[in-house]
Structure 1
Amino acid sequence: MNRNQVLPQVELSAEPSALKRIDFCAPQSYKGAGFLGILDMPRVAEEASAVSPGDGFHWSVETYFEDSPGSEPHQILELGLKGRLNLICQRCLQDCAVDLDEKRRFILVLTDSEADEYPLEDEEQEPLVVNQHFNLLETIEDEVLLSLPLIPKHPDGFCEPHASTFGDGDEEGASNERENPFNILKNMKKN
C-alpha cells in the first residue's frame, strides 16, 4: 500500500445482522455508530438480572491506518461503548444498574502468530485477529462482558447486606445449640 494513498471510508450499518460480516482485510477504513439492545447480544442478556425495552449499548467504531516506522502502516480500530445493564448486587441481592463507558483501541492483525508476537506490555492497544468475514457484533459483545464488574454492587451506603448472605441472628443461636459432632462420636465410643 502506498503511504500517500487515500483510502475510501465505508459507513457501517447500525443493523446487528450487518455487523456479523465485515471485511477488515479490504484496503479501506470503516466508521459507524449505533445502538444494540440487550437482546441483540445473547451472552450479555444471560448476565442481566432484568431487561427493559430501552436497555442496551451505544457503540461507535472507527478504523484508520497509522504509520509504523520501518514497516507497512498498521490498521487501528477504535471502539466506544456506552450503556447500562442491570445486574444482581452481591451485597443486597437486588437489581443494581451498572453504567459502562468504555473506549478500546485495537491493532488489527491477520494471523494468530502476529497477535502472539505483539508486546504484552502495550496497555494502550491490543491485537485483534481479523479476516474477510469478521464478526464485529461478537467483538462488541465480548468487550461489554469484559467491562462488567467481577462483583457488582451498589455504591457504599446505598444498600444493606442481605440477611441470608451473612447469617441471621436467629440462625447463630441455633448453630450454637447444636451438639458438637465429635462429642456424638465420643459418646458412641463410650457405649
Structure 2
Amino acid sequence: MNRNQVLPQVELSADLSALRRVDFCAPQSYLGGGFLKIPDLPRLAQEASKVEAGDGFEWNAKTYFVDSPGSEPHQILQLGLKGRLHMICQRCLQDCPVDLSEERQFVMVATEALADAYPIEDDELEPIVASQHFDLLSLIEDEILLSLPLIPKHPEGACQAHASSFGDAKTGADALEKPENPFNILKNMKKSS
C-alpha cells in the first residue's frame, strides 16, 4: 500500500452475525455504529440486575490508517460506547442504573508476538490482532465489561446502607460500649477448678 493510495471505506453492518466476522486484514477502512440490547451481549446480561426498555449500548467504530516510519501503515480502530445497565447497589442492595460512556483506541497488528512486543508505555493505543474473521461484537462486550464499576453504588446520599450490610444498628452500638472480653471463658474455667 503506497502513501498516496486512497482506500475504500466500508460501512459496518449492525447485524450481530456480521459484527462477529469483520475482515480487518482487507486494505480498507470501516465506519459504522448501532445499538446493542442487553440480551445481545450474554456475558453482560449476567451482570444485569434487571433490563428496562432502553437499556443497552450505542456503539460506533471507525478505522483509519496512519503512517509508521520504516514499516507498513498501521490500522487504528476507534471504538465509542455509551449506554446503561442496571446492577445491584452494594450499599443499599437495591437496583442501580449504571451509565457508561467510553472511548477506546486500538492498533491492529498481524500476530500475537507483535501484540506482546507492543510498547506498554503507549497507554492510548492497545494492540489487538487483526484477522479476516475478527469478532468486533466480542470486543465491544469486553470493553463494556471492563468499564463496569467493581462496586456499583448509587451516588453519595442517594440511598441508605442496608441493615444486613453492617449488622443490626443496636447490636453495633452495644458492642462499642461493652466489648466482649475473650478471656472470660478462661476466668470461669479457673473458678470452677
TM-score by length of 1: 0.91
Q: Does 1:8 align with 2:8?
A: yes
Q: Secondary structure at the match of 1:47?
A: coil
1:170 Cα deviation after fit: 3.4
What does the per-residue CA deviation read over 1:121-163, in whole Å, with 9 as the maximum and x for residues that have no partner?
A: 1111110112111100000000000111111111111111111
Counterpart for residue 77 of structure 1: 77
Q: CA RMSD in A?
A: 1.9
| CA–CA distance in structure 1, aligned partners of residues 187 and 131 of structure 2 | 70
Q: Does 1:53 align with 2:48?
A: no
Counterpart for residue 107 of structure 1: 107
What does the per-residue CA deviation read over 1:65-118, in whole Å, with 9 as the maximum and x for residues that have no partner?
A: 011122211000000001011111111111111111111000011211101111
Stretches of structure 1 lacking an aligned partner (at least 5 in a row): none
Q: Does 1:125 align with 2:125?
A: yes
How many residue pairs were aligned?
A: 191
| CA–CA distance in structure 2, aligned partners of residues 118 and 44 of structure 1 | 29
| CA–CA distance in structure 1, aligned partners of residues 156 and 4 of structure 2 | 54
Q: Does 1:26 align with 2:34?
A: no
Stretches of structure 2 lacking an aligned partner (at least 5 in a row): none
What does the per-residue CA deviation read over 1:32-78, in whole Å, with 9 as the maximum and x for residues that have no partner?
A: 10000000001111111111232100000011101112221100000
Q: Secondary structure at the match of 1:5?
A: coil
| CA–CA distance in structure 2, aligned partners of residues 165 and 174 of structure 1 | 17
Runs of 4+ in 1 over 2 A off after TM superposition: 169-191
Residue identity over aligned pairs, in percent, reads 69
- Greater mean alpha carbon deviation, residues 170-179 or residues 8-17: 170-179
Q: Which amino acid aligns with 1:151?
A: I
Distance 1:26 1:174, change over 3 A: same
Q: Which amino acid aligns with 1:168?
A: D
Counterpart for residue 68 of structure 1: 68
1:169 Cα deviation after fit: 2.2
| CA–CA distance in structure 2, aligned partners of residues 77 and 88 of structure 1 | 33
| CA–CA distance in structure 2, aligned partners of residues 129 and 112 of structure 1 | 6
- Greater mean alpha carbon deviation, residues 114-123 or residues 73-82: 114-123
- Greater mean alpha carbon deviation, residues 152-161 or residues 135-144: 152-161
